[in-house]
Amino acid sequence: MIKVDISNVWGQLSLPDLLAIEKEVSNAHMTLTQGTGAGNDFLGWLTLPTAEETEEMRRIQAAADRIRATSDVFVVIGIGGSYLGPRAAIELMQGCNHNINKGKGDPQIFFAGNTLSTRAWNELLRLLEGKDFSVAVISKSGTTTEPAIAFRGLRWLLERRYGTSGAKKRIYAITDPCKGALRQMADEEGWESFVIPPAAGGRFSVLTPVGLLPLAVAGIDIRQVMSGAYEAMEEYNNLRSFENPVWLYAGVRNLLYRNGKAIEILESYEPGFRMFGGWWQQLFGESEGKDGKGIFPVAAEFTPDLHSLGQMIQQGERNIFETMVRFDAPDQKMTIMGDYKNLDGLNYLEGKTLDFVDEKAYLGTLAAHVDGGVPVITMDMGELNDKKLGEMFYFFELCCGVSAYILDVNPFNQPGVEFYKRNMFQLLGKPGYEA
């Protein structure tokens, strides 16, 4: 179980505050699990994890094995929840530089269709030069602008490199089971396809084929991922008290918000966690930011961002709180060596491990920020492995649903996202948007 420590928020909150919100947390969790709240037609993710390998998982793994055997590069086309989850998982488990020295048998994985940058497109084309590649296009509709443009370009490249029939074997569609342009294309062209459950919105879709296919191609054990998510579902939905870390996190962050802490910074000392922070940022930002409400989510990487955001956190406006995420140290250690000249002054650390220094940096930062008036929630994730990955995804999804219902907003819609699209389509001259 993930451990949530709130000992460093008591300067801002009191025990009576926490006890007073317990009924709200309980009601929000009940609203979520019983499906009685706004957006209850998008609760498919809530009971999605399974302890047993399903036929769909076997089919996903078989497709991943084919991709690994035939491709130097696998391109995942999608935007928002269609790419943030799988990219977050792969970088957390394998590091930011996971693509170096990879090829057939263990392909490089790149993400496209999440930007309109020509420079990014040209870079992707350079990375694909002389390499065999396959693509997965992820979209419920198939008409979202950024991924649709990227897919059209990559499909053109595939057909010219492998021919029409050869390209069909290298395209995988992950889309709605019945409707939408991508479903129609997949059926007409004969591409292998996987289903995004209609009741699982994009930002809650990482434990569907949206995330599972890219993870399997990366060599991550998706059975272990789903097992971890299943255990989280069983444990976190049945423990009904503040001994449940979901209740503790959701309750405390809402109490801090009511006390003027309108910005949450999610931090880790692992560089590979940065994209996970991006996934969390979309999950909470798009779920809670509506009706003039919401905690503004910011992801940060420590220690690098202590040299940029650290000053603001320490002495800026007191409208922030932090959530620090920690993992057990890996088995392989780095020991600091001695130097007889000691010009860098590091000999006092001789024989110490890098993990030892990291731990002291964490404790020193924690003490400084708390002393500076910033409440800090800490999360101990334990050992990082494939099973823990599934637990973390489910934990934060559940926290988000409960927290949004405490806030009294619909966690599963995003009406504000459509405003920029409408303006863009009008400027582009898209039919139907002239006025």
Query: Residue 353's beta-bridge partner residues?
Result: 335
Distance CA 350, CA 416 (A): 54
Q: Which position among 24, 146, 267, 286 bears the catalytic label?
A: 286
Give the contacts of 293 (CB within 8 A, at least 6 positions apart).
Answer: 407, 408, 409
Question: Between vectors from CA 292 to CA 257 and to CA 276, what angle results, nearest 5°?
Answer: 60
No. of H helices and E strands in the chain? 14, 10
DSSP assignment of 190-249 equals T-EEEEPPTTS-GGG-TTSHHHHHHHHHTT--HHHHHHHHHHHHHHHHH--STTSHHHHH
Distance CA 163, CA 172 (A): 16
End-to-end CA distance of the chain: 54
Distance CA 281, CA 290 (A): 15
Told to judge if 3 belongs to the known catalytic residues of this protein, a careful annotator would answer: no
Told to judge if 421 belongs to the known catalytic residues of this protein, a careful annotator would answer: yes
Q: Which position among 188, 307, 317, 434 bears the catalytic label?
A: 307
The residue whose two tokens read 């309980």 is 26
Cα torsion angle, 256, 267, 306, 275, sign: negative
Q: Which position among 3, 179, 360, 421 bears the catalytic label?
A: 421
Query: Residue 296's beta-bridge partner residues?
Result: 263
Identify whether the C-beta of residue 79 lies closer than 8 Å to the C-beta of residue 113.
yes
Told to judge if 98 belongs to the known catalytic residues of this protein, a careful annotator would answer: no
* Residues identified as active-site: 286, 307, 421
